[in-house]
Structures are given as structure tokens and as C-alpha cells.
Amino acid sequence: MPFISTHDTTFALQESETLLEGLERTGHEIEYQCRSGYCGSCRVKILSGRVSYDDFPLAFVAPGEILACCCRVSENIRIDCRKRTEEPDLFAPSLFDEDS
């Protein structure tokens, strides 16, 4: 089971889970559209380690980038990704409390 390191954490990729699914499960900021290697939305920089692809993806991938939706991770990797930041709920009543 390979370990994925990001700027915020390290986690184990679960069996039969894609890198994209693992990043979503652990609360990372990652974009996606097709989830199958066509659009390139899930591109992320790989900082160390290597991945492979069962079928070479159709989306453009620059050197040093990987597609999180369709790459196969079989060794520990480090990627340039961060956890999602919480944005304030603009309708939360506590925002309007004058006591706080």
C-alpha cells in the first residue's frame, strides 16, 4: 500500500482507490471533471516517486505532472497538493453575533 505525501499530511492509498479518490477522502484541494484521463483537470505536480498508467492518458501532461484520476501508484510519492481550506459560511448566524 503506497503512501502519499502532500504539503499537509501523509496517508496510505487504499486498495482499489485512485489517487484522486484518496486525495478527496483526505480533504485535499483537487479539481476534476472527467475522472478518466481526458480533460487534464486533475493534473498535479509530482515532487518525488513515480507513477504509471494502464493506458496513456489523452490529456496533456507536462513533465513533472501526473493525472490523479487515472495514474497507477505503486510506490510512495510526494505531490504538490494541499488540504482544502474552509471558507466562512456567509449565512451562519454567528457571523452576525455582536458578542463575539
**Residues in contact with ligand FES by the rule CB under 6 A:** 32-35, 37-42, 59, 67, 69
What's the min distance (Å) between Cβ of 82 and ligand FES? 18
Q: How many CB atoms lie within 10 A of CB 1?
A: 10
- When the beta carbons of 33 and 95 are compared against ligand FES, the nearer one is 33
Considering only CA atoms, which of 47, 98, 54, 59 is closest in space to residue 74? 54
What's the min distance (Å) between Cβ of 33 and ligand FES? 5
What's the min distance (Å) between Cβ of 30 and ligand FES? 9
- When the beta carbons of 26 and 71 are compared against ligand FES, the nearer one is 71
Helices assigned H by DSSP within the chain: 19-25
What's the min distance (Å) between Cβ of 92 and ligand FES? 32
Q: How far apart are CA 52 and CA 70, in angstroms?
A: 9
Could you say which DSSP state residue 19 is in? H
Q: How far apart are CA 75 and CA 83, in angstroms?
A: 21
